[in-house]
């Protein structure tokens, strides 16, 4: 029987590293723009975000894009805060444990690609060319 007593769940820095690795693995045409998106890891989405999105259970929201999609940005937009992908560590770990059939890195990569879809204004078909999650 395996001894799990000395193991700990990946921390925020490890989740962020997985996200950055997924971003670096994108096709070359996307990597430069993706690298301009900040990645932040929090335990859960804040209550006001859950309320705004009408999400009742914080474990249901694993990631969120906050920013202006590239397809909507104009030269007149003044730089404010950077575009951000929020990853919610506890919700991600819960989904990973309940799935039991994917690596944590694959799950984080899947979430990152879908949040980047909001940044790029990608369609579902665009996402499918990069993220083969549903195959």
User: Does residue 4 fall inside a structural domain?
Assistant: no
CA of 25: how far to CAs of 69, 74, 103, in Å?
21, 27, 16
Cα–Cα dist 125/103, whole Å: 24
Count of helices and strands (H, E) across the chain: 6, 3
Domain count, the chain: 1
Q: What is the pTM of this model?
A: 0.85
Q: What is the CATH number of the domain that holds 36?
A: 3.30.2010.20
Cβ contact 86:42 at 8 Å: yes
User: Does residue 38 fall inside a structural domain?
Assistant: yes
Question: Per residue in 62-118, pLDDT tens?
Answer: 999 998 877 877 666 666 778 999 999 999 999 999 988 899 999 999 999 889 888
User: Does residue 77 fall inside a structural domain?
Assistant: no
Q: Residue 52's domain spans which residues?
A: 12-67+82-130
């Amino acid at each position: 029987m395996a001894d799990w007593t000395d193991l700990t769940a990946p921390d925020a820095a490890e989740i962020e590293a997985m996200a950055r690795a997924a971003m670096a693995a994108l096709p070359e045409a996307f990597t430069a723009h993706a690298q301009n998106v900040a990645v932040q890891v929090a335990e859960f989405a804040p209550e006001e975000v859950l309320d705004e999105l009408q999400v009742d259970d914080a474990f249901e929201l694993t990631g969120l894009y906050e920013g202006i999609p590239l397809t909507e940005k104009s030269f007149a937009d003044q730089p404010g805060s950077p575009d951000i992908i929020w990853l919610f560590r506890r919700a991600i770990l819960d989904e990973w444990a309940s799935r039991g059939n994917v690596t944590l890195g694959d799950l984080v990569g899947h979430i990152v690609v879908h949040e980047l879809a909001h940044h790029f204004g990608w369609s579902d078909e665009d996402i499918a060319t990069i993220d083969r999650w549903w195959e």
